[in-house]
Amino acid sequence: MFERNAKNPIDTLIGASTRIEGDVLFCGGLRIDGHVRGNVTGEPGEPTHVVLGEAGRIDGEVRCSSLVVSGEINGPVYVSEMLEIQPKARIVGEVYYKVLEMHSGALVQGKLSRHDSADPVLHLAVSEM
């Protein structure tokens, strides 16, 4: 996971024992292993990257350039570039993306909407069980 996204270093970590009540505005890379009850928003006009770990949870809106989800999101998701939904991920809410990679076992309860661009791109990943 980190090798492919080596150009998106993690600047901020919200640890597994941390709970945030309120909105988070960030620049660069953000990894969430804890619980955020509020919106998670990348600085507009800047490349922003979020990694939501398996134990991580967001109850609120998510806006960023790229997102890797292994945990749970309850709220709408807006990703301007790449969205990767890992096998244990759960998203309840509408999802807007440009490029999507969704692994077998992932769950999205809501509408998936692709941003308009010249070439439609959808990556489906199958994991060995």
How many whole angstroms separate alpha carbon 38 and alpha carbon 91?
A: 15
pLDDT attached to residue 129: 54
- Token code pair at residue 71: 């945990």
How many whole angstroms separate alpha carbon 5 and alpha carbon 7?
A: 5
Tell me the whole-structure pTM to 2 decimals.
Answer: 0.84
- Distance from chain centroid for Cα 25: 15
Note the pLDDT tens digit of each residue in 72-113: 999 999 999 999 999 999 999 999 999 999 999 999 999 999
Q: Which of 4-13, 98-107, 115-124 has the lowest mean pLDDT?
A: 115-124
Domain range annotation of the chain: 12-114
Q: Are 5 and 49 in contact (CB under 8 A)?
A: yes
**Is the pLDDT score of 4 beyond 80?**
no
Note the pLDDT tens digit of each residue in 27-86: 999 999 999 999 999 999 999 999 999 999 999 999 999 999 999 999 999 999 999 999
**Long-range contacts of the stretch 79-82 (C-beta < 8 A, 24+):** 80/115
- One-letter amino acid at 90 equals R
How many whole angstroms separate alpha carbon 49 and alpha carbon 4?
A: 13
